[in-house]
Amino acid sequence: MAKVTDLNVNGKKMTVDVDATASLLSVLRNDLHLTGSKYGCGEGQCGACTVLLDGQPVRSCITQVARAAGKQITTIEGLERDGNLHPLQDAFIKADAMQCAYCTSGMIMAAAGLLKKTARPSRDEIIEGMNGNICRCGTYQRIVEAIQIASGQTTTKEAA
C-alpha cells in the first residue's frame, strides 16, 4: 500500500509513516499528536476537524492524507505567532464565543479560511461561509460577533 512519509504542518516538515488512504485527521491526531482538530462526525458535516490546506479550509476527517502531502497544512496549533494569539483566537475569547468549546478549533480554522477569502465579511457572508460548522451548544451569535471583531468590524464587545 502506498505510504505518505513527509508532511508540512504549521510551517514545519514532519516525518510520518502512514497509509496514503488514512484520513488527515487521524494522522494529525494520532501520529503527530496535534489533537486540537477534533472528530465530530466523520462525514464532513460538522466542521470540528477543519484545517487549512494551502490556506483553503478542508474537512480533515474526509481528506486522505495523500492529498495533503506537499501542501502547507495549518492546524489550530499553528495560529499563534511568537506567543501571541491570532486575532480570531483573541476575538473568540472577547466575544465568549464558546461553551464546551469542542467545536472551537474547527470554527476558528473555518473562520480563518473565510477571512483569507473575504477580509471583511458581512453577517450574511459569515453565516454562509460558516454554515458547515456545527456548534451544538448554540453559540452561533457570538461566533458571528467574534468574526466581526477579528475582521475589525466591531471594536466593542457586548458588555454582557
Q: x-or-dash pattern for other proteins, window 81-100, by CB under 8 A?
A: ----x---xx-xxx-x-xxx
Looking at residue 108, its amino acid is I
CA–CA separation, 71 vs 149, rounded Å?
30
Residue closer to other proteins (CB basis): 73 or 143: 143
Residues in 107-136 at the binding interface with other proteins, rule: CB under 8 A: 108, 126-128, 130-131, 133-136
CB of 13 to other proteins, least distance (A): 21
Q: x-or-dash pattern for other proteins, window 32-71, by CB under 8 A?
A: -xxxxxxxxxxx-xx-x-----------------------
CA–CA separation, 82 vs 10, rounded Å?
13
Angle between helices 140-150 and 123-130 (to 10 degrees): 120
Residue linked to cell 470554527: 107
- Residue from 63, 75, 148, 151 touching other proteins (CB under 8 A): that is 75
Q: What is the largest CA-CA distance in the chain?
A: 56
